[in-house]
Amino acid sequence: PLRSDLAGLRVAVSTGGTREPIDPVRFLGNRSSGRQGAALAVSAAERGAAVTLVAAHVDDGVLDDALSHPGVALVRVSSAADLHAAMTDAAASADVVAMVAAVADFRVAEVSQGKLRKEDGVPELRLVPNPDILADLAASRGSGPARQTVVGFAAETASDDDELLERGRRKAARKGADLLVVNRVDWDRGFEAVENRVLILAADGTLVADAAGTKRAVADAVWDAVVASRP
Ligand code: C5P
């Protein structure tokens, strides 16, 4: 069905996995495919929003639909620091911000300007924490009647739904987002997969929706929750 319930809204979505450089040729990365964030961007554009999609590293072809949609403007980034800057920029004029990217929690303290060589011995990589971009965007937004809606995602390992909910509730409180989309991941679940199942929590931990299906179906459920949450 054709909905235009996001018409007139500007949304900023991040997706993909960041790469934290070690030296000119190496990085610390993660397995995020970028599919869920790309689906969120395309879904929002089809529902009438003007979308900025900030994409870190994604699997081949994942951005094809977003690239061919006139409602999506694509910004490419690599590290968490790049993503932070691009999302802060996009968020400044956004009604809704969704942090779907898998942001590295740590970066290498001293990036080597030259390639690390075996001959120099086993390197000791010292890591330092990256800022939490979601918490930062949630904390620094303006208030007022047209308050920005901030959506976070959380991939959690859990032995059952109760544990998943509990972890999600704690994270929702910690991040300060309006909605937290929690999905269960495992070695063979969540990442890189086409299907997904998520629990959508409100800031106070209330379960707003339980959605399953393709990443596109999950994206639609997230926008339904965003629409329902806005005054
Ligand atoms: O704490 P955790 O990494 O599980 O939180 C996931 C959520 O926080 C996602 O929305 C992710 O985009 C965001 N995040 C962030 N900056 C970080 C780490 C995670 O914005 N440094």
What digits encode the pLDDT tens for the residues 91-121? Answer: 999 999 999 999 999 999 999 999 999 999 9
Q: Are strands 26-28 and 20-23 parallel, antiparallel or unpaired?
A: antiparallel
Burial class (CB in 10 A: 0-12, 13-18, 19+), 225: buried
Instruction: Please check whether residue 55 is in contact with residue 75, taking contact to mean a CB–CB distance below 8 angstroms.
Output: yes
65 is in an annotated binding site: no
Tell me: is residue 115 an annotated ligand-binding position.
yes
| This prediction's pTM | 0.95
Ligand 1 binding pocket includes 99 (Cβ within 6 Å): yes
Catalytic residues: 30
CA distances in angstroms from 48 to 43, 57, 181, listed in the order given: 9, 26, 22
Q: Nearest Cα to 198, choosing from 135, 156, 226?
A: 156
Q: Is 102 exposed, middle or buried (0-12, 13-18, 19+ CB in 10 A)?
A: buried
13-51 residue pLDDT tens = 999 999 999 999 999 999 999 999 999 999 999 999 999
CA–centroid distance, residue 171 to ligand 1 (Å):
10
Say if ligand 1 is within 6 A of residue 222 CB. no
Task: Give residue 134 CA to ligand 1 midpoint distance, Å.
Answer: 6
Q: Are 208 and 230 in contact (CB under 8 A)?
A: no
